[in-house]
């Protein structure tokens, strides 16, 4: 099970790398005025989104494996786990929101400014801190 846990963390790191970098690409994308550069950013965004989706899928599947392997009943009464899974579900929603933004910026690059994407870029940081603290400390 330690190997499963290690790969769960590896996939999680991959997922978060994409969650951190994709909004930064959006900033650069909306700041450029050249069609060739916008096309390059669209390719980069799509490729990164595929990689972070692989990371998210691997994280979820291995997380389910860990839940099953570590006796679900023992964790079912753990409040920290319920909160962690809720935050992971919200993070998956944020992932889908980035997909929507990626499509919107490709169609209308000037719809939102760079400042909006800079703020969006901060969201995964808060999730990461709370999720890791819950998983490591198991406070309740």
Express each pLDDT in 28-48 by its tens digit: 999 998 899 999 999 999 999
What is the SS3 assignment for 113? coil
Total residues found in the chain within this entry: 140
What DSSP letter does each residue of 118-129 carry, written as one string? HHHTTHHHHHHH
Question: What pTM does this model have?
Answer: 0.92
What tokens were used for 107? 């169609």
What tokens were used for 23? 């909004």
What tokens were used for 92? 């998956």
The answer to whether 8 is a known ligand-binding residue is: yes
Express each pLDDT in 58-112 by its tens digit: 999 999 999 888 766 667 778 898 899 999 999 999 999 999 999 999 998 778 9
């Amino acid at each position: 099970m330690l190997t499963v846990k290690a790969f769960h963390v590896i996939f999680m790191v991959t997922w978060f790398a994409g969650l951190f970098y994709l909004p930064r690409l959006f900033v650069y994308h909306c700041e450029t005025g050249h069609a060739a550069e916008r096309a390059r950013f669209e390719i980069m965004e799509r490729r990164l989104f595929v990689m972070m989706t692989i990371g998210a899928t691997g994280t979820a599947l291995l997380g389910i494996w860990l839940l099953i392997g570590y006796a679900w009943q023992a964790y079912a009464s753990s409040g920290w786990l319920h909160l962690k899974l809720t935050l992971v579900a919200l993070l998956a929603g944020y992932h889908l929101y980035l997909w929507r933004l990626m499509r919107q910026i490709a169609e209308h690059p000037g719809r939102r400014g760079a400042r909006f994407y800079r703020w969006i870029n901060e969201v995964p940081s808060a999730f990461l801190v709370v999720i890791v603290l819950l998983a490591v400390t198991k406070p309740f």
